[in-house]
Structure 1
Amino acid sequence: MSSDDQTPDPTPTRSRRRLVIALAAVAVALALVVAFVVVPAVSGGDADEPGAAGPGSGSSSPTTGGSSDDGTTAPTDTVPPAAGPDTPEAPPVGLDESPAVVDGVTVRVKSLDAVDGEAALPGEVTGPAVRAELEVYNSSAAPVDLSTVVVNLAYGADRTPANTFSTGTSSFPASVAAGATADGVYVFAVPVDGHSDLRLTFDYAVDVPVVVFEGSTS
């Protein structure tokens, strides 16, 4: 048989095709490896950065007096500090006067009467007493806090402190509205011979001078 009649050997062509398929398979495998290793690392990198919000984050340090969720300013505590024994005193005034406590706020004694005190709690003793009714007037444009007000009474030349009866005593409310008045009633145990020399004090706050009334029962 002549050389022109021989059939070409397909072996080299099949070998090249197998090589191409093998290389393609390797390339696909490498791509999958890169996808599984590189992509998770990139997506999780932000959570490791300082200040980044990760799963379960969202907590923050508590603040006071800041802004609320609706963008408005949160109210701050406006209650004045409570009065204390070291609070300075204003010069004494008569029972018929209405001295200023702070700007826009005055206090006066509506009545100071001799009464009989009624014991109700342990330690109280029924006997002569003085009933003091005071009125606070708020002429300012905003409510005024009265929650720290303390009213005391002393009698005689020695300024003996008088105990308060629970029965008949009704302290000032927590606040007084703008343009309004608020009353407080206090019943003190005072012997009859002490009714002619009384010293009634109105303590508003530790940094406000104590208002002092002096006089006798009517």
Structure 2
Amino acid sequence: MDRQPGAARMRRWAAPVAVAGLAAALALGLAGCGPAVDPAASGPPASDPVGSSSPPSAAATPAPSTPASTPAPAGPPAPVPSATMVPAPAPSGPPAAAPVTAPSLPTTAASLDEEVAFDTGMTVEVVAMRVIQVTAETPGEVDGPALVVEVEARNGSASAQSVDSAVVTVETADGDLGIGTTAGSPSPLAGVVAPGQTSTGTYVFMLDPASGRDVTVTINYAAGEPVAVFTGTTP
């Protein structure tokens, strides 16, 4: 009598378990019968075919950068201080007059056959004069009549005297100037004349005509020293 009730309970629990097992088997069978899933199918969708109305998406273009703005100056620049001009003091007296011409040198006149002695101790004279015909030898020279003037400078002082800056000129009474030339072998005064010594110089002047002309010959034996003025007639 006691075993029947226990067997009845076991039968009641066994029925639901069998139903649950059958349902699980049916579910597994249905899953096995479905189509196989391709792993590649899980990738991104294919692109639209040619002719699709959807336009391709444009690549994103970065927006141009805007340069940083320069801050405006706070105000106008400060003015640069300028130097103060101080006027020069006015001269206390009237301005000195500028010399118009060089001061004239003392002169001594003589004839062509005389000598001139100066207070400086120097004596000058025209020792010879002749007319020649010169031929041009270098550019700038010309052919023609010329006057040769030979002069002497004698030092009667106690000091040596330089005659390197000596100047001799010739001018006719009617205003023609003798033009110095290197033709005819001139040999001007030069060097230093020792006390008691004499220096001789030869000068050649183009002058046409050269013969029979009234002339003035000036001799300045050194710059700033007295001038001798000789007058006469050429040979």
TM-score band by shorter chain is: 0.5 to 0.7
> Is 1:103 matched with 2:120?
yes
Deviation at 1:93, TM superposition (A): 1.2
Which amino acid letter does the alignment assign opposite residue 132 of structure 1? V
Question: In structure 1, what is the Cα distance between the partners aligned to 2:148 and 2:210?
Answer: 15
CA 1:86 to 1:129, structure 2 compared with 1: closer, same or farther past 3 Å? Answer: farther
Q: Deviations over 1:128-154 (max 9, x none)?
A: 110000011111222111111111111
Match of 1:33 in 2: none
Change (3 A) 1:125 1:202: same
Q: Tell me, in whole angstroms, the C-alpha distance in 2 between the residues paired with 1:114 and 1:195.
A: 10
- Tell me, in whole angstroms, the C-alpha distance in 1 between the residues paired with 2:178 and 2:232: 15
Q: Distance in 2 between matches of 1:106 and 1:178?
A: 12
Q: Distance in 2 between matches of 1:98 and 1:165?
A: 25
Q: Where does 1:36-55 land on structure 2 (aligned, <5 Å)?
A: none
Q: From 161, 164, 173, give the equivalent of 2:180.
A: 164
Structure 1 unaligned spans of 5+:
1-83
Residues 173 and 139 (structure 1 numbering): CA distance in 2 closer, same or farther, change over 3 Å? same
- Is the contact between residue 146 and residue 210 of structure 2 (CA under 8 Å) also seen in structure 1? no
Matches within 5 A, 1:38-187: 87-88=104-105, 90-158=107-175, 160-167=176-183, 168-187=185-204
Q: Which has the larger radius of gyration?
A: 2
Q: Tell me which of 203, 206, 212 is aligned to 2:220.
A: 203
Q: 1:146 to 1:139 in 2, by over 3 A?
A: same
Structure 1 pair 86–203 and aligned structure 2 pair: CA distance change class (3 A): farther
TM score, norm. by length of structure 1: 0.55
Change beyond 3 A, Cα 1:193–1:146 = closer
| Partner in structure 2 of residue 52 of structure 1 | none
Give the Å deviation of 1:205: 4.0
Q: Partners in 2 of 1:211 and 1:95 — Cα distance?
A: 11
Q: TM-score, normalised by structure 2?
A: 0.52
**Residues 151-195 of structure 1: per-residue CA shift (max 9 Å, x gap):** 11112312x221112132101122111111000000100112664
**For residue 174 of structure 2, what is the amino acid of its counterpart?**
A
1 CA distance for matches of 2:120 and 2:234? 29
Q: Shift of the alpha carbon at 1:121?
A: 2.8
Quickly say closer, same or farther: Cα 1:139–1:200, change in 2 above 3 A: same
Greater helix fraction, Structure 1 or Structure 2: 1
**Cα distance in 2, alignment partners of residues 128 and 189 from structure 1:** 6
The answer to which structure, 1 or 2, has the higher relative contact order (CA under 8 A, 6+ apart) is 1
Q: Is the 8 A contact 2:215 2:233 kept in 1?
A: yes
CA RMSD of aligned residues (A): 2.2
Large movers: runs of 4+ above 4 Å? none
Q: Aligned partners of 1:111, 1:91: CA distance in 2, in Å?
A: 19
The alpha-carbon distance between structure 1 residues 215 and 89, as it changes in their structure 2 partners (threshold 3 A), is farther
CA distance in 1, matches of 2:171, 2:150: 15
Percent identical among aligned pairs is: 31
Q: Relative to structure 1, is the Cα distance of residues 93 and 193 closer, same or farther in structure 2, using a 3 angstrom cutoff?
A: same
